Amino acid sequence: MLIGGAVALIVAIGIDIILEVFFGVAVLSLVIAAVLAFGLIWLAVHLPGFTKTKMYSIEGQLMIELKEVIADERGVGIKATLMGAMPATIYVRPSEVWNLLSQVPTHVVMAIVKLILVPPEKPKATTTEKK
């Protein structure tokens, strides 16, 4: 915890310098920087590392195993395995990115943020013993 506090202080001082130099914010900038630093460190500690994301059908069958999200001159894309067997790279063309973003309603974005910040409780394991 002491190391995390020291790192947060160093990050806070760096953010404070950026706020003062680039934005001219001097009033309470160290406090703002400290809050931002602690928030960033909390996210870094609590967010899981990279794992493959799996998407399932309603019946529970694995449909897509997302390996990587990419962005290049062809657009925004995903590298995935479809139906457990077909490797594919799927792109959204640059001209279609706004259409994609417009299809994501605000309540879905808020639900995703809630799932990240407040993960749902895992169901308790039940043991069934035969006597």
| CA-to-CA dists, residue 91 to 50, 72, 97, 98, angstroms | 21, 10, 10, 14
- How far apart are the C-alpha atoms of 31 and 28, rounded to whole Å? 5
- How far apart are the C-alpha atoms of 71 and 94, rounded to whole Å? 10
pLDDT digits (tens, 9 = 90+) for 77-121: 889 999 988 999 999 888 887 887 778 788 887 887 787 777 677
pLDDT digits (tens, 9 = 90+) for 57-71: 999 999 999 988 888
Q: Which two tokens stand for residue 23?
A: 């934005």
CB neighbours of residue 37 within 10 Å: 21
Kindly indicate the confidence band of residue 124, based on its pLDDT and cuts at 50, 70 and 90. low
> What would you measure as the largest C-alpha separation in the chain, in angstroms?
73
